[in-house]
A = this chain, B = another copy of it.
Amino acid sequence: MAVTIRDVAEASGVHVSTVSRAFSAPHLVNPVTRTRVLAIAEDLGYRPNRAARALTTGRTHNIGLIVADIANPFFPPLIKAAQAQARMRDYHVFVADTDEDPQVEEELIQTLTKQVDGVLLCSPRLTNRTIERLREEIPFVVVNRRVKGMPTVLMDVGRGVRLAVEHLTGLGHRRLALVTGPSGSWTSKEMQAAAAAMNEADVTFLGPNPPTEQGGLAAVTDVIASGATAVLAYNDLVAIGLIEGLAERGIDVPGDISVIGVDDIVPGRLSRPKLTTIAMPTAAAGRIAVDLLLQSVDSESTSGVTVLETSLIVRESTGETHS
């Protein structure tokens, strides 16, 4: 059916090994025969079969990208950037969605393992032990979670939280609330730690909450009860839910209460009031993660954590307090 290396060899009167080298070891073949072979290959529409190549070289030129939920607006920019970067390096990427299920996640890694040179694990739900075990079989880089001794890319929410708190205190707020995320979340812990270390303001912790609009909706009574004039939400979805719930109670944002989210996802930019948020450099994370991964595929260099800066984007959901 398809045109193979042998077709090209026959058509150009050389041995298959010469054709092979014309592509993957140019310096080992006479320039003139090389150009002739290449021309004929082009002519015949020959495309090397990467799967066959992988069989002998051990390099598939594929990577796997595993995320908990593709439809979560946090991930698409990361996926897009990772994919673009991989393409630039002549890699293809499998993307898989685990549906938040650790079981599925492990299974996916197992079946993907033979087809990829490495995998990018984004906000994995697996235990550290499992990840460390799986690591024997295939190079990883982990995004958005700290796993001992593995190449990791993290986003510095702590800094974002400090910036946010400063922004808020600058506006006169003294009583803050932090709506935390799922109890297992690394990001949530980081946020709490950073907030607890600030002493410009009183902060009370509310949660844990599901990381969704519903979670935000569910948190409004607690927020009101806390007497806080400003709220830092686990993420933008929670913040949006919160604002909605507050509005239902007749409480204006930012008039009565200020709200800050985390992530800078698209819906936050589009909602009203436009959300003030701690922007996570997800695209950069995706890009850098694949660089790291490919690097750790070639060389045996393994560990090291890269942390990316976050920033505060002030929009319309924060304002001066008047209480």
- On chain B, the residues within 8 Å of A71 by CB distance are 76-77, 80, 266
CB–CB A83/B54 < 8 A: no
Given known pairs A76-B71, A272-B272, the reply for A87 and B92 (CB within 8 Å) is no
A51-B60 in contact (CB<8A): yes
Q: Which residues of B contact A256 (CB under 8 A)?
A: none
8 Å CB contact of A95 from B2, B79, B110, B267: B79
* Interchain residue pairs with CB less than 8 A apart (15): A48-B114, A50-B111, A69-B80, A71-B77, A73-B73, A73-B76, A80-B97, A92-B94, A92-B111, A213-B270, A237-B270, A267-B270, A267-B271, A270-B270, A272-B272
Question: How far, in angstroms, from A270 to B242 measured CA to CA in the complex?
Answer: 11
Known: A76-B76, A77-B71, A83-B96. A51 touches B266 (CB 8 A): no
- With A50-B115, A114-B51 as known contacts, state yes or no: A94 contacts B93, CB within 8 Å: yes
Q: Is the CB of B110 within 8 A of A47?
A: yes
Task: Select A2's contact among B75, B80, B96, B114, beta carbons within 8 Å.
Answer: B114
Q: Which residues of B contact A48 (CB under 8 A)?
A: 114
Question: Quick check: is A84 within 8 A (CB to CB) of the other chain?
Answer: yes
B111 lies within 8 A of A47 (CB): yes
Q: Considering the chains assembled together, what is the distance between the CA atoms of A138 and B111 in angstroms?
A: 24
- Is residue A128 contacting chain B, with contact meaning CB distance below 8 A? no
Say whether chain A's binding surface is mostly helix, strand, loop, or mixed. helix
Number of interface residues of A (CB under 8 A): 50
In the bound complex, CA of A209 to CA of B73 (Å): 25
CB-defined contacts of A49 to chain B, threshold 8 Å: 55, 114
Q: A residues bordering B, Cβ < 8 Å? A: 1-2, 47-52, 54-55, 58, 60, 62, 69-71, 73, 75-77, 79-80, 83-84, 87, 92-97, 99, 108, 110-115, 137, 213, 237, 240, 244, 247, 266-267, 270-272
Q: Is the CB of B95 within 8 A of A112?
A: no
A1–chain B nearest beta-carbon distance, Å = 8
Q: A2-B114, A50-B111, A55-B55 are in contact. List 18 more A-B contacts (CB 8 A).
A: A1-B58, A2-B137, A70-B76, A70-B80, A70-B83, A71-B77, A71-B80, A73-B73, A83-B96, A92-B96, A92-B112, A92-B115, A94-B95, A237-B270, A244-B272, A266-B267, A267-B271, A272-B272
B114–A95 CB distance below 8 A: no
Task: Chain B residues near A50: list those with CB within 8 A.
Answer: 111, 114-115
For A92, give the chain B residue with the smallest CB separation.
B94
Residues of B within 8 A of A1 (CB): 58
Residues of B contacting A92 in the complex (Cβ-Cβ under 8 angstroms): 94, 96, 111-112, 115
Query: Is B83 in contact with A270, judged by CB distance below 8 angstroms?
Result: no
* Inter-chain contact B84/A99, CB cutoff 8 Å: yes
